[in-house]
Structure 1
Amino acid sequence: MVDINAFMKSLKLSWIRKVIQGQNKFTSLGRKLIDFNILCNTGSLYAISAVDMPLFFNNCLLINNKYIFWKYWYDDGIRFVKDIIKDSGQILSLQELQAKMNKPVNFLHYEGIKKVLSTYIVSVQNVKLKDYKVHSYPILSTYIKPIILNSCNKLLYNMLKENSEIPTCQTKWNEYFADDSIQWKNVHGQVFKKTNNTYIQWLQTRIIHRILGTNSLLFKMGLSDSKTCTFCKMSEESITHLFWDCNTVKILIKDISDSLKNANIQIVINSKMFLLGDTNVNDNCFILFMEVKKYIFECKRKEVIPHFQGFKASLKLSLNIYENTTNESNKGFFWIVIRLICNS
């Protein structure tokens, strides 16, 4: 029969095995923060001197059957039994401890630790603590000193910055475009620089990270009965198919391109420019493409076929909102383009 207590303890320790054996970015972070060579050298095979025992969270040193921890002691370097024991084996007096910490010490804290230490010394039959061997066991607070002594946020930030792991979404986009030269820092940040529309920011971020709720993804999650395209009903509805490869969408993009040509605006639209927002594209074209993608996704959600007249209605609504929320509605090449398309 399973020992439930042993099973629960093993589950609590399973994170150590994952950090030691794992290969993701969080395991490298854990290895930098914690000395696992020391942490794992615990148990009956690793005996240490009693003076090397930690003062805090120690089963042998309990006050009212509770673990003790006083942060101001810990911050001043009082962490192990040896920190309050003289070479002769005697416990430091209150005055000596205050001089060592260079600050007042709570009298009740001192008397409490003095009493439990004295009781422990008697329990080991007055053997000198430095000669008395005990089994070591992991005390995390003694192994994560850098976090406690330094700014934790800055430490973690610097470690994460050193991470060179390439996100899966970037690898997949590189494969799709057969291009490893994409400036991903610019791709991720440009939508926040070029528009304040939070819906567009949300949509473009999910497209880049390939986590938008297409039928292909929803089918894998068990939330859709089919993974075929909402528009053409033929191919699998991936992000690239929904916004570029679908024949229905291609017709819409061609109609928009023709409308721009009729207005003497020459824009050659390619897949990288349209899906990710090529860094060479000006702000006006980028926002126009985002309006197209927004319309396509709204049609997908409503399960209606996108067409040029519907896109013009969507643009008119965006123009109306813009004109009523800003004083710059008459400025900018983009809004001139919007009006030309709406009036075509």
Structure 2
Amino acid sequence: MWDTVLTVVVVTVIIIIIIIIIIIIIIIIIIIIIIIIIIIIIIIVVVVINIIIIIIIIIAVVVAAIVSSLSSSLLEQRRCEPLWRGKTKRSPHPTGLQKPPALKDKDLAQADDPPRQAAYGPMEWRKILLTNCPNIDCFENYGPQYVNKHNKKLNPFWTDVFQAYGQFYDNVKLEKYSELLAEPIFNNNKFKIGNNPFCYNQWTKHNILLVKDLTNEEGTFYTVEEFKQKYDIQTVNFLEYYSCISAIKKYVKDSNIDIDNSLPNTSSKAYSMTLGSPKGSRLFYDVFVQKIDTPNPCKKWEQMLENEIDWDKIFFKTHKIKEIRLKWFQMKITYRTLVTNSILKEMRIVENNNCTFCNMEKDTIYHYLWSCEHVQLFWKDFERWLKSQCDHCQRLKMNKVLVLFGYDKKTRTDDGFDFLLLHAKYFLYKCRFNKCKPRLVAFCNYNNYQYKLDRYVHQIEMREHNFTLKWAMYNNLFNQ
């Protein structure tokens, strides 16, 4: 009996295990089917999205093509409505000028002259400009102000063109006497009377237009009597004639042009550059940027020191200073912005503007860095110190330009001396703030510290060889 029961139990357990296994297998199959369905759905979605993107791109390309076509048509319809300086002006021609009547053969021949060919391109444009601006024929024999003065009805575009040419013309610097002789006298900003360009109608009637018309074969200007006899003019205003000659001579002096007996050029320099320049704007760019005015502080230094200073070299040396604190210090000297008692008094920070060292004269940058008696003693000690320790400094002579700016045309310096001089000036600056007299002994201690600091910087930068070369001639200064 127990055997039967045991058999039934075993069979039942086995059946239950089989059923559980079947259920697990069914669940796994269902999960796999679900995963496959999800993957299929994802693939379908991705394909649909790609199809939609492609359709959108096709539609965008088609729309862009349609818009471009419509825009071209609209621009073509409105090409006669140019907008200049915010003002719309309708015109039957793209130039903004009225279309001229048919020109005769004589006019067409005149329209082929080089100025119009070079400046205005196609034949149609030259015809239009000739009709609306007949004074263009005088372009070569007058300054650029002539066209602007005698053509008030030009549209804004051509007004801008001639104004730009005028600026270019004014920036072209004459360097040779032959270039000066080919220069127009009238309506030319290079020659001014009372700070304005001028024009003498009586002279233009006798075809007296260029500087060469006022000179003889030797290159000197005619006297009034020679001028009358040359051009058969009965009456010549003495003041007008010599005012014109003076204006030309002033330009010659300001431009440092050497007068000789060279033959004049065929046309003015600016006119020749415009006609003969290669394609591109490089030449015109160079003319506009060739001269940068000297800053006003630099001009004041030149006036004060009564010396012409090479500022390019000074700014180049200043740029090479690595320590920002010292670079700013030198820049403040150059631009006259270093703090002095004169400035502090105006700001009501100090009671008087006397020098901190001598307490006698007005405190200025020039005074406390050079002319003060105590500072003069310091520079003399500094010069003797260098001469006694360095053989190559025997011919050294300190001067105000060298001290203030670290460069002088008559003195050749090296990196070591530049370092010493710059720190000597900064030492004076610190003495002024500490209200103590500058002494060479104190500077030597200060300089020894700066020397060690400079060596440390070169070691960090792995430029010890440069340090050795820099101080090779000055080793005796630091071995005392």
**Structure-1-length-normalised TM-score:** 0.51
Are the aligned partners of 1:313 and 1:342 in contact in 2 as well (CA < 8 Å)? Answer: no
Q: Which residue of 2 aligns with 1:191?
A: 318
Are the aligned partners of 1:242 and 1:249 in contact in 2 as well (CA < 8 Å)? Answer: yes
Matches within 5 A, 1:12-161: 97-100=70-73, 161=289
Matched, 1:216 2:352: no
The equivalent position to 2:294 in structure 1, one of 166, 169, 174, is 166
Separation (CA, whole Å) in 2 of partners of 1:159 and 1:212:
35
Q: Which residue of 1 aligns with 2:327?
A: 201
Q: Which residue of 2 aligns with 1:268?
A: 397
Are the aligned partners of 2:420 and 2:447 in contact in 1 as well (CA < 8 Å)? Answer: no
Q: Classify 1:243/1:160 alpha carbon distance in 2 versus 1 (closer, same or farther; 3 Å).
A: farther
Separation (CA, whole Å) in 2 of partners of 1:289 and 1:334:
14
Q: Which residue of 1 aligns with 2:25?
A: none
Separation (CA, whole Å) in 2 of partners of 1:322 and 1:296:
20
- Tell me by how many angstroms 1:158 deviates: 8.1
Matched, 1:175 2:306: no
- Tell me by how many angstroms 1:333 deviates: 4.8
Matched, 1:253 2:397: no
Q: Which residue of 2 aligns with 1:61?
A: none
Separation (CA, whole Å) in 1 of partners of 2:354 and 2:423:
24
- Tell me by how many angstroms 1:221 deviates: 3.5
Q: Classify 1:325/1:185 alpha carbon distance in 2 versus 1 (closer, same or farther; 3 Å).
A: same
Matches within 5 A, 1:316-335: 316-327=448-459, 328=464, 331-334=468-471
- For 1:270, the aligned partner's letter is N
Q: Which residue of 2 aligns with 1:309?
A: 441
- For 1:331, the aligned partner's letter is T
Are the aligned partners of 1:291 and 1:315 in contact in 2 as well (CA < 8 Å)? Answer: yes
Are the aligned partners of 2:355 and 2:361 in contact in 1 as well (CA < 8 Å)? Answer: yes
Task: Kindly indicate whether structure 1 or structure 2 has the higher relative contact order, using CA contacts under 8 Å at least 6 residues apart.
Answer: 1
The equivalent position to 2:408 in structure 1, one of 261, 278, 293, is 278
- Tell me by how many angstroms 1:210 deviates: 0.8
- Tell me by how many angstroms 1:229 deviates: 0.8
Cα displacement string for residues 300-332 of structure 1 (whole angstroms, at most 9, x for unaligned residues): 122222111110111011111112111327513
Report the secondary structure of 2:468's partner residue: coil
Separation (CA, whole Å) in 1 of partners of 2:322 and 2:293:
30
Are the aligned partners of 1:215 and 1:224 in contact in 2 as well (CA < 8 Å)? Answer: yes
Separation (CA, whole Å) in 1 of partners of 2:291 and 2:334:
20
- Tell me by how many angstroms 1:174 deviates: 1.1
Cα displacement string for residues 114-136 of structure 1 (whole angstroms, at most 9, x for unaligned residues): xxxxxxxxxxxxxxxx9xxxxxx
Task: Name stretches of at least 5 consecutive residues in structure 1 with no aligned partner.
Answer: 1-92, 103-129, 131-143, 145-156
Are the aligned partners of 2:354 and 2:360 in contact in 1 as well (CA < 8 Å)? Answer: yes
Separation (CA, whole Å) in 1 of partners of 2:290 and 2:467:
46
- Tell me by how many angstroms 1:290 deviates: 0.5
Q: Classify 1:335/1:308 alpha carbon distance in 2 versus 1 (closer, same or farther; 3 Å).
A: farther
The number of aligned residues is 200
- Tell me by how many angstroms 1:246 deviates: 0.9
Are the aligned partners of 1:243 and 1:293 in contact in 2 as well (CA < 8 Å)? Answer: yes
Separation (CA, whole Å) in 1 of partners of 2:423 and 2:74:
65
The equivalent position to 1:242 in structure 2, one of 368, 371, 391, is 368
- Tell me by how many angstroms 1:179 deviates: 1.7
Cα displacement string for residues 73-131 of structure 1 (whole angstroms, at most 9, x for unaligned residues): xxxxxxxxxxxxxxxxxxxx9786444589xxxxxxxxxxxxxxxxxxxxxxxxxxx9x
Separation (CA, whole Å) in 2 of partners of 1:285 and 1:231:
25
Percent identity, aligned pairs only, is 22
**Bigger proportion of residues as helix:** 2
- For 1:273, the aligned partner's letter is L
- For 1:191, the aligned partner's letter is T
Q: Give the number of the structure whose alpha-carbon radius of gyration is greater.
A: 2
Report the secondary structure of 2:294's partner residue: coil
The equivalent position to 1:297 in structure 2, one of 426, 429, 447, is 429
Q: Classify 1:199/1:101 alpha carbon distance in 2 versus 1 (closer, same or farther; 3 Å).
A: farther
